[in-house]
């Protein structure tokens, strides 16, 4: 099972209600994934001299204590941190790679959930409704968001095993389906230097895209290569800095529907997650074809 | 004409109202509003009702139908009219995957396109699609007719039994054991009848017929590549 949803607001005047429109999409998919939920939201872009990290920890009371001061001292940089329960959004002018290395080397109890200039990722075990409330999704503003409700089949129900998975700066992946060659592929990627936090199959797909993008592939090229190498059933939704992309495997057993109006473009596992959006009943609605990459960017319509 | 508000009474409220009508009721005309893509709308009907589903439907709409005529005014989700026994289901928009799956009888009309696996394992239903069908349509189709006024995707009629397929447009590829067959007068007559029943404006002479080569009915080591 699992449910995935994505919403991009073409009409900028609607950005203040992104969360109000998106939270019901996530919650409507609870039947498909009551184990855990997560979402990536793109908002409050920082300038090119700064990087925004989303962090998570199972021991937040220890993890976030004096983290900003410690990092400022260690990396000689400015740090601003906003705590949201066991997640924290950290903005710094330090070099992103240095920050990553410092966190991995000195803060083993902190997981890096995502990073970029506008992306923030929140995910947690529990009902989608509770996860949305905890991270104040309904009141969130932003340009676009993708989300996931999880019914685990391939690995444990944990926060780390929840979606979205980061695949690079301002990039993340949610997945409905299961991959059958993830163990072999994980070993291959580990030899290439990709680090994994879980036994989760989707993390391998995310790692694969990260690896391809690091080699200089475009997102489109990375997804094309993924269609060749990722064996299994999947509908993927990939959040990008200026939109999202959707890909289904060649058999396309995992449902997906897309809808577009002048104001927004949306994707979901089931249409009922889209039905409440303004103008959904008269929107252009279609099913993404198998083995085909659909991307939405700020420049134009879905292609 | 009686109206049911799905948002108000839920899918269970809608379906139980339609299930619990007394036999021979005069209240045969129903409209279901505020569908919002919910699943299993107007499932398991077992009476000669006329039901309008006024909006996009979710999965399995009109499933297991007997006797009723159901019109979905909008698009329909996965498994529309699956396992229908008799009656009619009409979709004015597109239908998602596995439309008419395993259906035994009745008529399913999709005015727009149908997605993959349309008519999978159909067992006697007649399906008429105004647009095109996706890949693996009529997979293991056992009996009945699938009429496609547009094109068919990959692997049409894979492992087909005795269902008869008519396609007007291009077939991207035929599945294992599915072949083009001669269109004889009785086939043209049946196709004409189905197009008229479905109210589709298409010329039967423009269609081609496809069906089973009957080579995979029993295991034969010489056909191992085709399984």
- In chain B, whose CA is at the least distance from the CA of A276? B36
Catalytic site residues of A?
A: 2
The predicted pLDDT at position B195 comes to 98
Task: Tell me whether residues B38 and A290 touch, CB distance under 8 A.
Answer: no
Select the residue of B56, B97, B134 nearest A281 (Cβ to Cβ): B56
User: CA-based Rg of chain A, rounded to a whole angstrom?
Assistant: 18
- In chain B, whose CA is at the least distance from the CA of A272? B37
Per-domain residue ranges of chain B: 1-112
Task: Tell me whether residues A255 and B96 touch, CB distance under 8 A.
Answer: yes
Contact A72, A13 (CB under 8 A): no
Residues of A in contact with B74 (CB under 8 A): 281
Contact B112, B132 (CB under 8 A): no
The predicted pLDDT at position A148 comes to 97
Residues of A in contact with B79 (CB under 8 A): none
The predicted pLDDT at position A212 comes to 92
Assigned CATH topology for domain A3-40+136-296:
3.60.20
| DSSP at B196 | H
Contact A92, A70 (CB under 8 A): no
Per-domain residue ranges of chain A: 3-40+136-296, 46-117
Task: Tell me whether residues B115 and A287 touch, CB distance under 8 A.
Answer: yes
Per-position b or e across A151-189, b if 16+ CB within 10 A of its CB: ebebeeebbbbbbbbbbbbbbbbbbbbbbeebeebbebb
Query: Is residue A275 within 8 angstroms of chain B, CB to CB?
Result: yes
Query: Is residue B135 within 8 angstroms of chain A, CB to CB?
Result: yes
Residues of B in contact with A276 (CB under 8 A): 36
Cα B66 to its chain centre, rounded Å, is 14
Which chain A residues in 161-180 lie under 8 Å from chain B, judged by CB atoms? Answer: none
Residues of B in contact with A281 (CB under 8 A): 55-56, 74
Query: Is residue B73 within 8 angstroms of chain A, CB to CB?
Result: no
Q: pLDDT band for B227, please (50, 70, 90 cuts).
A: low
The predicted pLDDT at position B226 comes to 67
Mean pLDDT, each 10-residue run in order, chain A (303 residues): 94 96 98 96 96 96 93 96 94 96 95 96 96 96 96 87 91 93 95 90 92 89 93 94 92 94 96 97 94 77 49
- In chain A, whose CA is at the least distance from the CA of B98? A253
Can you tell me the distance from the alpha carbon of B146 to that of B133, in angstroms, rounded to the nearest whole number?
A: 10
Query: Is residue B38 within 8 angstroms of chain A, CB to CB?
Result: yes
- Region of residue B74 (left: phi > 0; alpha: psi -120 to 50; beta: else): left
- Looking at domain A46-117, its CATH class is alpha beta
The predicted pLDDT at position B222 comes to 77
Task: Tell me whether residues A271 and B94 touch, CB distance under 8 A.
Answer: no
The predicted pLDDT at position A298 comes to 60
Task: Tell me whether residues A252 and B97 touch, CB distance under 8 A.
Answer: yes
- Dump pLDDT digits (tens) for B191-220: 999 999 999 999 999 999 999 999 887 777
* A73 CB-near residues (< 8 Å, 6+ apart): none
Of the two residues A193 and B37, the one the predictor is more confident about is B37
Task: Tell me whether residues A286 and B97 touch, CB distance under 8 A.
Answer: no
- Dump pLDDT digits (tens) for B5-34: 999 999 999 999 999 999 999 999 999 999
Q: pLDDT band for B225, please (50, 70, 90 cuts).
A: confident
How many contacts does A have with B, using Cβ atoms within 8 A? Answer: 47
If DSSP codes are grouped into helix, strand and coil, which group holds residue A201? helix
The predicted pLDDT at position A284 comes to 96
Task: Tell me whether residues A275 and B56 touch, CB distance under 8 A.
Answer: yes
Which chain B residues in 107-126 lie under 8 Å from chain A, judged by CB atoms? Answer: 115-116
Contact B13, B30 (CB under 8 A): no
The predicted pLDDT at position B217 comes to 78
Element (H, E) at A297: none
Helices A219-229 and A201-214, interaxial angle, to 10°? Answer: 130
Strand runs (DSSP E) across A66-182, as ranges? Answer: 79-84, 87-92, 110-116, 119-125, 144-150, 165-168, 171-179
Select the residue of B37, B116, B134 nearest A272 (Cβ to Cβ): B37
The predicted pLDDT at position B123 comes to 98
- Dump pLDDT digits (tens) for A236-268: 999 998 889 999 999 998 999 999 999 999 999
Q: According to the 3-state scheme, what is the secondary structure of A224-270?
A: HHHHHHCCEEEEEEEEECCEEEEEECCCCCCCCEEEECCCEEEEECC
How much is the ipTM here? Answer: 0.92
Nearest Cα of chain B lies from the Cα of A32 at a distance, in angstroms, of 13
- Dump pLDDT digits (tens) for B92-149: 999 999 999 999 999 999 999 999 999 999 999 999 999 999 999 999 999 999 999 9
Task: Tell me whether residues A290 and B116 touch, CB distance under 8 A.
Answer: yes
């Amino acid at each position: 099972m699992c449910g995935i949803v994505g919403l991009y607001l073409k009409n900028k005047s609607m950005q203040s209600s992104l969360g109000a429109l998106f939270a019901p999409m996530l919650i409507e998919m609870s039947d498909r994934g009551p184990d855990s939920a997560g979402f990536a939201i793109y908002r409050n872009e920082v300038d090119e001299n700064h990087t925004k990290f989303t962090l998570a920890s199972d021991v937040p009371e220890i993890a976030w204590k004096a983290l900003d001061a410690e990092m400022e001292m260690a990396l000689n940089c400015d740090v601003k941190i906003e705590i949201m329960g066991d997640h924290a959004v950290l903005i710094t002018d330090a070099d992103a790679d240095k920050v990553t290395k410092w966190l991995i080397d000195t803060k083993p109890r902190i997981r890096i959930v995502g990073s970029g200039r506008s992306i923030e990722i929140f995910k947690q075990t529990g009902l989608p409704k509770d996860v949305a409330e905890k991270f104040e999704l309904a009141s969130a503003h932003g340009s676009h968001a993708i989300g996931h409700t999880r019914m685990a089949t391939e690995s444990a129900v944990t926060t780390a095993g929840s979606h979205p998975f980061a695949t690079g700066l301002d990039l993340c992946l949610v997945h409905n389906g299961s991959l059958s060659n993830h163990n072999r592929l994980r070993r291959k990627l580990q030899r290439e230097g990709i680090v994994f936090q879980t036994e989760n199959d989707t993390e391998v797909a995310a790692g694969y895209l990260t690896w391809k993008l690091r080699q200089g592939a475009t997102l489109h090229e990375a997804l094309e290569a993924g269609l060749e190498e990722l064996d299994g059933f999947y509908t993927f939704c990939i959040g990008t800095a200026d939109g999202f992309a959707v890909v289904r495997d060649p058999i396309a057993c995992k449902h997906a529907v897309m809808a577009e109006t002048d104001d927004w473009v949306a994707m979901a596992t089931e249409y009922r997650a889209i039905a409440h959006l303004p103008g959904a009943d008269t929107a252009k609605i279609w099913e993404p074809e198998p083995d085909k990459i659909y991307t939405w960017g700020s420049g134009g319509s879905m292609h | 004409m009686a109206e049911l508000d799905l948002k108000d009474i839920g899918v269970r409220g809608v379906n139980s109202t339609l299930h619990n009508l007394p036999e021979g009721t005069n209240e045969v005309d129903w409209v279901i509003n505020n569908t919002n893509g919910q699943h299993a709308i107007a499932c398991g009907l077992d009476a000669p009702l006329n039901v309008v589903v006024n909006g996009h439907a979710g999965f399995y709409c009109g499933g297991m139908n007997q006797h009723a005529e159901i019109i979905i005014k909008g698009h329909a989700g996965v498994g529309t009219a699956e396992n229908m026994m008799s009656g009619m289901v009409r979709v004015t928009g597109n239908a998602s995957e596995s439309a008419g799956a395993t259906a035994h009888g009745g008529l399913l009309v999709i005015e727009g396109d149908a997605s993959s696996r349309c008519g999978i394992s159909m067992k006697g239903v007649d399906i008429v699609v105004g647009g095109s069908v996706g890949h693996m349509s009529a997979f293991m189709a056992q009996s009945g007719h699938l009429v496609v006024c547009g094109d068919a995707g990959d692997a049409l009629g894979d492992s087909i039994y005795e269902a008869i397929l008519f396609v007007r447009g291009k077939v991207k590829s035929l599945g294992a054991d599915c072949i083009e067959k001669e269109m004889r007068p009785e086939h043209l007559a049946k196709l004409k009848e189905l197009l008229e029943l479905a109210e589709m404006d298409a010329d039967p002479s423009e269609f081609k017929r496809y069906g089973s080569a009957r080579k995979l009915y029993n295991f034969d080591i010489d056909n191992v590549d085709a399984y």
